Structure 1
Amino acid sequence: MARTAIDLDEEPIAEVATALGTSTTSETVNTALREVLENRRRALAVARFRPAAGEGAPGPGQVSR
C-alpha cells in the first residue's frame, strides 16, 4: 500500500467514519473509496441493462406466473 500525505477535513472524515463503522482515517478513506467504486460499477451495470428493459421486457409487477 502506498503512503500519501493529503489534507483532509476532520469533520467529514469523522462523519464518514461513523457511517462506515471505521476507526482510523486510513480505514475510513480506503473503505469509502471501495464503496464509491462499487456504487459506480453497479450504476454502470444498471445503465447497460436499462436499454434492454425498454425493449418489451416486463417491468416490476408485470411478470405473469
Structure 2
Amino acid sequence: MSATQIDIDDDALADAMRLSQAKTRKDTVNLALREDAERRRRTEARLRHFRAARGWDEEGFERQHRAEKGAA
C-alpha cells in the first residue's frame, strides 16, 4: 500500500464515515475507492451487454447475460 497525502473535504469524509460505519479515515477512503471501481465495472458490463445486444432478439441478450453472469 502506498502513502499519499491529499486534501479531502472534511464534511464529505465525515458523512462517508458515518454512512459506511468505517472506523478510520483510511478505511473510509479505501472503501470508497473500491466501491467506485466496482460501480464503474458494473456500468461497463451493462454497456457491453447493450452494445452486444444491438440487433439481437431477446433470447440472444439473455443468453449473453447468463453466460457473463455465470463467468463472474
For this pair of structures, how many residues does the alignment match? 59
- Greater relative contact order (Cα 8 A, min sep 6): structure 1 or 2? 1
TM-score (norm 1): 0.78
Task: Return 5+ residue gaps in structure 1 as ranges.
Answer: 60-65
1:1-65 → structure 2 map (5 Å cutoff): 1-51=1-51, 52=53, 55-57=56-58
CA gap of 1:54–1:32, structure 2 versus 1, over 3 A, is: farther
Gaps of 5+ in 2: 62-72
**Greater than 3 Å deviation, 4+ residue runs:** none
Counterpart of 2:58 in 1: which secondary structure? coil
Question: Aligned partners of 2:54 and 2:18: how far apart in 1?
Answer: 38
**Fraction of identical pairs, as percent:** 37
Residue by residue over 1:3-30, the C-alpha shift from the partner in whole angstroms, topping out at 9 and shown as x without a partner, is 1111111110010111212111100000
Comparing both structures, which one devotes a greater share of its residues to helix?
2
Residue in 2 aligned with 1:63?
Answer: none
- 3-state secondary structure, aligned to 1:7: coil
Q: Relative to structure 1, is the Cα distance of residues 17 and 53 closer, same or farther in structure 2, using a 3 angstrom cutoff? A: farther
